[in-house]
RNA sequence: UCGGGGGUGGUGUAAUCGGUAACACAGCAGGUUCUGGUCCUGUCGUUGGGGGUUCGAGUCCUCCCCCCCGAGCCA
């Protein structure tokens, strides 16, 4: 396994859609995406997922992904963020042409289109206050009502809009609203705001604009202007899609630019456990001084992860690992750590460093004598070249954790009387210990002569430990980072972030030492301190002579003796109570209720519902489904009375097979007739054709009103019952899948369905399934 | 007058036409190893629940349950 940066990206539902669009030529074979951050905060790992998705698709199709700043709200935005965002995107390894784009570049065109909307009666200026607008908008379960200003003349509206644009009106005086539908069940369509007045200075347009467009207006237009084909956003914008399409449609902006209309596709945003992802909460951490800044190595920001020592390759591998879907999910942060280790394993040279030094005197080694040992930078399995020298002398230091007076079972380190190997060096045997105030302050040991690179004969070596020559040790400050929060879901509960913080998320060790080869390590360089973890030389605080190392991630530690204080999250007892938010929402009406209402409105349906169970002897559940509308019931009636179908069979077929055959169509829009349905079902019941074939025929009947008899006759679709004929197919299938046949005989009986399926498929659905089953069973015995 | 989107192992994501529930992480058990790392092997599952259609259902029909989103002059 290698670092996964170059591995092929797995398919996902978005790429499926794109593939499909390429096939149908929906966008003229083009794929153009965009990443549209608002410059009001730093990018985090969640954005990284979106960046990898959008830019990854562009790379995959050899096309383009635009970086476009959604700078439509000057009150919240800042150039500081623009710079950091551009830097982060490039650091992740993506490029976006010559320069970043800005929604504000399109303000002129947006305004022109807004006037068009007014002229076309599709927008109006509303003088209601914000409170009134909210009130007039209604609620989730009650329709809104129109503003008294909704029906002013085009001329009046145009006049007000131009006053707004000219800066003649103070903030809040009025707004431009789309004129759609105050009773829409989608709240986003209840005459949404398009422009609001903001006498604010904009970083790019200066004071040129006293009005600014809303997201729902600016976004689709920006996409269209740039010729975006697939506009990917997160799930919470699903309700906005209808409005997105309305704007594209009513402004005609795509047609004006001669491009296909962009389509919005939503996917689930990334959630990670043991961290928070919302910009607001991250800002809170920074402002409250809970972390040292946006680039604090504990932050899930790209800047923070970079400083922590994560490489872009790891982040991209992570994005690839977690995939893209529409399910709200929470990713285990261990997966990120896995990607980081998997990446660093191949790039970080191995060196020795001691975090909590314990002095070891090699009593058998002459004072002042130094031996230059050598050690490769990489283990054999990584197989990269390079080595450095490791001076060894009478006095060395080892980690306190690597010595125990009273070693626990399974301890593979140093203890009184035991021998361990010093990594790349001699084996040493502990023969004495100096204790002061109950604490071991020095270990005295003898070295085993001639044990470098050789197994010492007759001596049991407990393990291998890391060490540094005391005389040559390079002092270092080591910052041990751990997850910022101690609970898996800091977002839940009362939301008091401070109380969920992990008090041990940062531990600073000032008296660590590392081997001399690290003395001039470059800021930003990655190292593995063997047996300790991966580290990066801090880019901000490390100085020549004052090394600062950040722990990027620990090594995987499978030693049970290693006390692991991170107790796994107590499986949050699944509460069967509805969530607080769910309770505030009105209940949905079921389909049963809709059908019942339809029957109340239409006495004919009501009568059918009441009498059919007895008249035709079919289950009430089926009757319910047949009597929710006239067309379905009429079809049933015709199939039974005119087509001679058996009522129960007709009902079952209409209930189970009609909806999928219909797809998006309405029954009334098809040429399906009751009598032909009756004919088809009689053919099935008599054994003339198989159910499988009947479904295919039925699809054509729905599609083009075909006559089942004709299709069956023309194509020779009669059911095949002849054992000899079927046995031939069975033999072919078994021969073609001899490996699977062996597996089956070996006990993998789940393959039975596979073989039956293959045979039936080979017979084009005509083979009698019971006969096929019997023969397959006989043949595979 | 409510509407929209979802539910596959502990976790994330797959599964052509309805036809072997797969891959990875984590866990557990071994093996290799001068890192308790890496690597290798094995092990762990009947798709939220019920009913139905079908020779065969994660996939189709149906009822129920659960979760998420929407009433900013935020994005």
Q: Any idea which of A242-246, A617-621, A728-732, A741-745 has the lowest mean pLDDT? A: A741-745
pLDDT score, position A566: 42
Residue A322, CA: closest nucleotide via C1'? B12
Please give the protein residue whose CA is closest to the C1' of the nucleotide B23: A321
CA distance A770 to A622: 27
User: What b/e sequence results for A22-60 when a residue is b if at least 16 CB atoms lie within 10 Å of its CB, and e otherwise?
Assistant: beeebbeebbbbbbbbbbbbbbbbbbbbbbbbbbbbbbe
Check A150, A269, A326, A400 and give the catalytic one.
Answer: A269
Q: Tell me: pLDDT of A470 over 80.
A: yes
At A570, the pLDDT band (50, 70, 90 cuts) reads very low
Q: Quick check: A738 CB within 7 A of strand B?
A: no
Check A279, A281, A335, A444 and give the catalytic one.
Answer: A279
Residues in chain A: 781
Is the C-alpha dihedral spanning A640, A646, A648, A654 positive or negative?
negative
Q: Tell me: pLDDT of A417 over 90.
A: yes
Q: Quick check: A729 CB within 7 A of strand B?
A: no
Separation between the CA of A577 and the C1’ of B66 (whole angstroms)? 9
pLDDT score, position A206: 97
Strands of A235-338 (E only): list them.
263-267
Residue A748, CA: closest nucleotide via C1'? B20
**pLDDT (tens digit, 9 = 90+) per residue, A270-312?**
999 999 999 999 999 999 999 999 999 999 999 999 999 999 9
At A561, the pLDDT band (50, 70, 90 cuts) reads low
DSSP state of A262: P
Is the C-alpha dihedral spanning A193, A194, A198, A199 positive or negative?
negative
Please give the protein residue whose CA is closest to the C1' of the nucleotide B36: A559
Q: What is the DSSP string of A470-496?
A: GGGPEEEEEEEE--SBSSS-TTSTT--
| Helix H or strand E segment including A206 | none
Strand B proximal residues, A:463-492, Cβ < 7 Å: 463-465
Separation between the CA of A398 and the C1’ of B72 (whole angstroms)? 60
DSSP state of A273: T
For the CA atoms of chain A, what is the radius of gyration?
Answer: 36
CA distance A308 to A540: 11
pLDDT score, position A564: 45
pLDDT score, position A574: 38
User: Where would I find the H helices in A107-207?
Assistant: 107-119, 130-136, 154-166
Closest CA to A146 of A120, A126, A131, A165: A126
DSSP state of A202: B
> Does residue A387 carry a catalytic annotation?
no
CA distance A498 to A518: 37
CA distance A68 to A246: 22
Q: What is the ipTM of this complex?
A: 0.96
Is the C-alpha dihedral spanning A455, A456, A458, A459 positive or negative?
negative
At A7, the pLDDT band (50, 70, 90 cuts) reads very low
Token pair 């302050």 in the structure block, residue: A441
Token pair 């800042």 in the structure block, residue: A78
Residue A381, CA: closest nucleotide via C1'? B38
> Does residue A280 carry a catalytic annotation?
no
Strand B proximal residues, A:272-301, Cβ < 7 Å: none
Strand B proximal residues, A:336-395, Cβ < 7 Å: 338, 341-342, 345, 350, 378-379, 381-382
CA distance A758 to A668: 37
CA distance A507 to A682: 79
Q: Tell me: pLDDT of A705 over 90.
A: no
DSSP helix/strand/coil, A267: strand
* Both structure tokens of A148: 């008294």
Residue A558, CA: closest nucleotide via C1'? B36
| Helix H or strand E segment including A754 | helix A752-762
Q: What is the DSSP string of A599-654?
A: HHH-HHHHHHHHHHHHHH---HHHHHHHTSSHHHHHHHHHHHHTT---HHHHHHHH
Residue A571, CA: closest nucleotide via C1'? B10
Token pair 């398919």 in the structure block, residue: A11
> Does residue A76 carry a catalytic annotation?
no
Which class for A570: exposed (0-12), middle (13-18), buried (19 or more C-beta within 10 A)?
Answer: exposed
* Both structure tokens of A205: 């347009």
**Spatial contact of A703 and A714, defined as CB atoms under 8 Å apart:** no
Query: Please, which residues bridge with residue A96 across strands?
Result: A98
Average pLDDT, chain A: 93
CA A458 to chain centre: 56
**pLDDT (tens digit, 9 = 90+) per residue, A370-414?**
999 999 999 999 999 999 999 999 999 999 999 999 999 999 999
Q: Quick check: A526 CB within 7 A of strand B?
A: no
pLDDT score, position A781: 74
Q: Quick check: A197 CB within 7 A of strand B?
A: yes
**pLDDT (tens digit, 9 = 90+) per residue, A228-286?**
999 999 999 999 999 999 999 999 999 999 999 999 999 999 999 999 999 999 999 99
Separation between the CA of A199 and the C1’ of B21 (whole angstroms)? 59
Q: What is the DSSP string of A355-418?
A: SSEEEEEETTS-TT--EEEEEESS-TTT----EEEEEE-SEEEEEGGGB-SSPPTT--SB-TT-
The values of phi and psi at residue A679, to 5°, are: -60, -45
Cα angle A502-A506-A507, degrees, rounded to a multiple of 5: 120
Separation between the CA of A621 and the C1’ of B63 (whole angstroms)? 9
CA distance A222 to A103: 6
DSSP state of A277: -
**pLDDT (tens digit, 9 = 90+) per residue, A37-53?**
999 999 999 999 999 99
Residue A218, CA: closest nucleotide via C1'? B75
Please give the protein residue whose CA is closest to the C1' of the nucleotide B37: A555
Separation between the CA of A670 and the C1’ of B1 (whole angstroms)? 30
Cα angle A337-A340-A341, degrees, rounded to a multiple of 5: 90
| Whether pTM exceeds 0.90 | yes
Strands of A94-249 (E only): list them.
101-102, 123-126, 175-178, 193-197, 211-213, 230-234
Please name the residues in contact with A254: beta carbons below 8 A apart, sequence gap of 6 or more: A224, A248, A260, A261, A262
* Both structure tokens of A251: 């402004």
Strand B proximal residues, A:600-659, Cβ < 7 Å: 621, 625, 652, 655-657, 659
CA distance A378 to A387: 8
Residue A530, CA: closest nucleotide via C1'? B35
Q: Tell me: pLDDT of A226 over 50.
A: yes
Covered bases, chain B (protein CB within 7 Å): 1-8, 10-15, 17-21, 24-28, 34-40, 52-56, 60-64, 66-75
Separation between the CA of A549 and the C1’ of B33 (whole angstroms)? 28
Is the C-alpha dihedral spanning A12, A16, A19, A25 positive or negative?
negative
Separation between the CA of A758 and the C1’ of B41 (whole angstroms)? 34
Give chain A's end-to-end CA distance (angstroms, integer).
Answer: 42
Q: Tell me: pLDDT of A5 over 50.
A: no
**pLDDT (tens digit, 9 = 90+) per residue, A158-217?**
999 999 999 999 999 999 999 999 999 999 999 999 999 999 999 999 999 999 999 999
Residue A757, CA: closest nucleotide via C1'? B19
pLDDT score, position A399: 97
CA distance A92 to A353: 30
Q: Quick check: A671 CB within 7 A of strand B?
A: no
When pLDDT is averaged across residues A423-429 and rounded to a whole number, the result is 97
Separation between the CA of A448 and the C1’ of B51 (whole angstroms)? 77
**Spatial contact of A701 and A684, defined as CB atoms under 8 Å apart:** no
* Both structure tokens of A246: 């309305």
pLDDT score, position A16: 94
Please give the protein residue whose CA is closest to the C1' of the nucleotide B4: A239
Check A26, A38, A281, A646 and give the catalytic one.
Answer: A38
* Greatest distance between any 2 Cα atoms in chain A: 111
Closest CA to A618 of A644, A650, A659: A650
Percent of chain A with pLDDT over 70: 95
Please give the protein residue whose CA is closest to the C1' of the nucleotide B71: A139
Percent of chain A with pLDDT over 90: 86
Strand B proximal residues, A:548-607, Cβ < 7 Å: 555-562, 575-579, 581-582, 584-592
Strand B proximal residues, A:121-150, Cβ < 7 Å: 128-130, 133-134, 137-143
pLDDT score, position A623: 95
Separation between the CA of A8 and the C1’ of B23 (whole angstroms)? 14
Which class for A603: exposed (0-12), middle (13-18), buried (19 or more C-beta within 10 A)?
Answer: exposed
Q: Any idea which of A496-500, A501-505, A650-654 has the lowest mean pLDDT? A: A496-500
């Amino acid at each position: 396994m290698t670092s996964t940066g170059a591995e092929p990206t797995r398919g996902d539902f978005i790429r499926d859609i794109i593939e499909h669009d390429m096939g149908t030529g929906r966008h003229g074979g083009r794929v153009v995406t965009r990443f549209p951050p608002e410059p009001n905060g730093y990018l985090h790992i969640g954005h990284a997922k979106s960046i990898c998705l959008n830019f990854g698709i562009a790379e995959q199709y050899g096309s383009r992904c635009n970086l476009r700043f959604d700078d439509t709200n000057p009150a919240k935005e800042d150039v500081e963020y623009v710079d950091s965002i551009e830097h982060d995107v490039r650091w992740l390894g993506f490029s976006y042409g010559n320069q970043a784009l800005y929604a504000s570049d399109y303000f002129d065109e947006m305004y022109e289109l807004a006037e068009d909307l007014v002229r076309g009666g599709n927008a109006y200026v509303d003088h209601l206050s914000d409170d009134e607008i909210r009130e007039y908008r209604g609620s989730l379960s009650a329709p809104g009502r129109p503003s008294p200003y909704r029906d002013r003349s085009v001329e009046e509206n145009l006049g007000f809009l131009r006053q707004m644009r000219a800066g003649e009106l103070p903030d809040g005086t009025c707004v431009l609203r789309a004129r759609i539908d105050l009773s829409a069940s989608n709240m986003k369509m209840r005459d949404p705001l398009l422009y609001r007045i903001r006498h604010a200075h904009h970083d790019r347009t200066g004071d040129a604009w006293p009005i600014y467009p809303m997201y729902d207006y600016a976004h689709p237009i920006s996409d269209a202007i740039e010729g975006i084909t697939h506009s990917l956003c997160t799930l919470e914008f699903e309700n906005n899609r209808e409005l997105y399409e309305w704007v594209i449609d009513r402004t005609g902006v795509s047609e004006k630019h001669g491009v296909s209309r962009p389509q919005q596709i939503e996917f689930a945003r990334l959630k990670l456990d043991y961290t928070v992802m919302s910009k607001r909460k991250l800002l809170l951490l920074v402002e409250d001084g809970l972390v040292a800044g946006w680039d604090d190595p504990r932050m899930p920001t790209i800047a923070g992860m970079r400083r922590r020592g994560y490489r872009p390759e790891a982040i991209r591998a992570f994005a690839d690992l977690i995939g893209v879907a529409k399910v709200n999910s929470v990713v285990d942060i261990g997966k990120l750590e896995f990607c980081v280790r998997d990446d660093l394993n191949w790039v970080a040279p191995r060196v020795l460093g001691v975090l909590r030094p314990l002095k070891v005197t090699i009593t058998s080694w002459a004072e002042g004598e130094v031996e230059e040992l050598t050690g490769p930078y990489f283990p054999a399995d990584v197989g990269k070249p390079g080595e450095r020298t490791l001076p060894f002398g009478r006095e060395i230091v080892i980690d306190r954790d690597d010595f125990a007076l009273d070693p626990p079972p399974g301890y593979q380190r140093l203890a009184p009387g035991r021998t361990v190997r010093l990594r790349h060096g001699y084996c040493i045997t502990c023969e004495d210990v100096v204790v002061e105030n109950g604490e071991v302050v020095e270990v005295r040991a003898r070295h085993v002569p001639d044990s470098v690179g050789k197994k010492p004969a007759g001596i049991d070596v407990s393990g291998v430990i890391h060490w540094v020559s005391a005389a040559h040790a390079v002092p270092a400050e080591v910052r041990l980072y751990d997850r910022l929060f101690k609970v898996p879901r800091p977002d839940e509960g009362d939301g008091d972030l401070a109380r969920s913080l992990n008090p041990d998320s940062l531990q600073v060790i000032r008296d660590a030492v590392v081997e001399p080869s690290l003395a001039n390590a470059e800021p930003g360089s990655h190292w593995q301190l063997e047996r300790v973890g991966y580290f990066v030389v801090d880019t901000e605080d490390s100085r020549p002579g004052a090394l600062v190392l950040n722990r990027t991630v620990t090594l995987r530690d499978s030693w049970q003796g290693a006390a692991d204080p991170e107790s796994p999250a107590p499986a949050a007892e699944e509460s069967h109570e509805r969530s607080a938010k769910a309770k505030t929402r009105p209940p949905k009406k079921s389909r049963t209720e809709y059908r019942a209402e339809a029957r109340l409105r239409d006495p004919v349906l009501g009568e059918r519902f009441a009498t059919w169970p007895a008249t035709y002897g079919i289950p009430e559940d089926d009757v319910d489904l047949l009597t929710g509308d006239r067309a379905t019931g009429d079809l049933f009636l015709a199939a039974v009375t005119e087509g001679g179908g058996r009522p129960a069979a007709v009902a079952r077929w209409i209930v189970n097979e009609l909806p999928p055959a219909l797809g998006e169509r309405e029954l009334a829009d098809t040429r399906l007739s009751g009598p032909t349905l009756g004919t088809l079902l009689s053919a099935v019941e008599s054994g003339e054709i198989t159910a499988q074939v009947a479904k295919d025929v039925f699809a054509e009947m729905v599609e083009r009103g075909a006559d089942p008899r004709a299709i069956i006759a023309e194509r020779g679709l009669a059911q095949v019952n002849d054992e000899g004929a079927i046995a031939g197919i069975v033999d072919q299938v078994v021969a073609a899948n001899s490996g699977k046949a062996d597996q089956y005989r070996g006990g993998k009986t789940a393959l039975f369905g596979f073989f039956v399926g293959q045979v039936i498929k080979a017979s084009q659905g005509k083979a009698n399934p019971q006969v096929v089953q019997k023969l397959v069973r006989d043949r595979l015995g």
